[in-house]
Amino acid sequence: MTTETRMPTGALTVTGLAVSVASRQILRDVNITVEAGECLGVVGETGAGKTMLCRAISGRLTRIGGHAPEGSVTFDGVDLLHQSAPQWRALYGRRIGLVPQNSLSSLDPIMRVGQQLKETLHELNPAADVADRSRQLLEMVHLPRPEQVLRSYPHELSGGMRQRLMIALALAGSPELLVADEPTSALDMTVQHGIVGLLAELRSLTGMSTIFVTHDLSIVASIADRIAVMYAGTVVEVGAVDRILTDPRHPYTKALLAARPSAERRGEPLGAIPGQPQPLMVERAGCQFAPRCGLASDICRTDIPRLEDDEADHEVACWHATTGHST
């Protein structure tokens, strides 16, 4: 496999982002950064707003009637929220790649894999040798017997093979930023680790920046440089992987870590976060996690905590971050 190593680009900054769908607010005051060549892991329960954030970054809000009334999303100096359709076509697939959640529903079931790859490549670069590039992409993602895969229909491939194919499609335009929206969901543990290892390898080879979305803190630890924790449509904690995993400050982050299966606790009940996740389209006053939080006080129920520096390279949105970090 030959892959050109390039200088890292692809820096992304999301500031004060709000997203609404059908007049309902889904994301609120989201703030994240992705440095050039960095992998940011975005974690949280189902319904935290992770996929909506991916849509905002990859220009896919309008497909579901969404828009961003507040904030900014800047990619290498380009304002992504105010791009016209032709401008987005020049970005999507070429500078920004997306690996969606469900590989089976994202592929055309009546079209062979080779045809889908060739159509994508022709759209990105009509002058390219699409047959040669198709084989090269399948080799990059370590799919065995590329010629056989190219002749196959999506349903003839395993879940892990389809996910590798989705990664190949996302890499077709050699993007500088790859947005991977839960690329390991619905895969068994062995296949999950294979996909994570592949993405880490590709980032090392290409220098691309990566946003890796998951609900599994154990998986994200093996690929990300930093972690952003989302809850109820906003970011509640951001920090280096080691710091988040060993010394989290937000009660929600601690609860997520406590709920992880652990070999040391074999035979013991799994930890669980009390209550139910806050619906994205319903906003309470104050901290959205307050109804499920054992540290919640009066200020938590009335005033919204903002994401602020707790220590160097670590941010948390919690009124009790300092007093509660050792609980």
Q: What is the mean pLDDT of residues 24-41?
A: 95
Q: Is pLDDT above 80 for 96?
A: yes
179 within 8 A of 152, measured Cβ to Cβ:
no
pLDDT digits (tens, 9 = 90+) for 183-192: 998 788 899 9
Distance CA 307, CA 171 (A): 33
pLDDT for 269:
74
pLDDT for 240:
96
pLDDT for 265:
64
- Binning pLDDT at 50, 70 and 90, where does residue 310 land? confident
Distance CA 34, CA 212 (A): 11
pLDDT for 279:
77
Q: Is pLDDT above 90 for 27?
A: yes
Q: What is the mean pLDDT of residues 12-36?
A: 94
pLDDT for 189:
87
Q: Is pLDDT above 70 for 29?
A: yes
Sequence spans of domains, the chain? 10-95+177-191+204-260+276-321
Most confident of 75-84, 149-158, 186-195: 149-158
Q: What is the dihedral of CA 185, 180, 29, 275, to 10 degrees?
A: 10
pLDDT for 262:
62
Q: Which CATH number applies to 10-95+177-191+204-260+276-321: 3.40.50.300, 3.40.190.290, 3.40.50.10540, 3.30.930.10?
A: 3.40.50.300
- Binning pLDDT at 50, 70 and 90, where does residue 276 land? confident
Specify the higher pLDDT residue, 278 or 153.
Answer: 153
Distances (CA, A) of 317 to 76, 95, 280, 321: 27, 32, 18, 8
- Give this prediction's pTM: 0.91
Closest of 217, 282, 275 to residue 49, by C-alpha: 282
Report the sign of the C-alpha dihedral through residues 285, 287, 289, 290, in that order.
Answer: negative
pLDDT for 327:
37
pLDDT for 146:
94
- Binning pLDDT at 50, 70 and 90, where does residue 322 land? low
pLDDT digits (tens, 9 = 90+) for 217-235: 888 989 999 999 999 999 9
pLDDT for 3:
47
Q: What is the mean pLDDT of residues 80-106?
A: 90
Q: What is the mean pLDDT of residues 170-179?
A: 95
Q: Is pLDDT above 70 for 326?
A: no
Tokens of 20: 């609404």
Q: What is the mean pLDDT of residues 126-154?
A: 93
pLDDT, mean over the chain: 89
Distance CA 179, CA 281 (A): 24
Tokens of 64: 């579901």
202 within 8 A of 102, measured Cβ to Cβ:
no
Counting every residue written for the chain, the total comes to: 327
Q: What is the mean pLDDT of residues 14-20?
A: 96
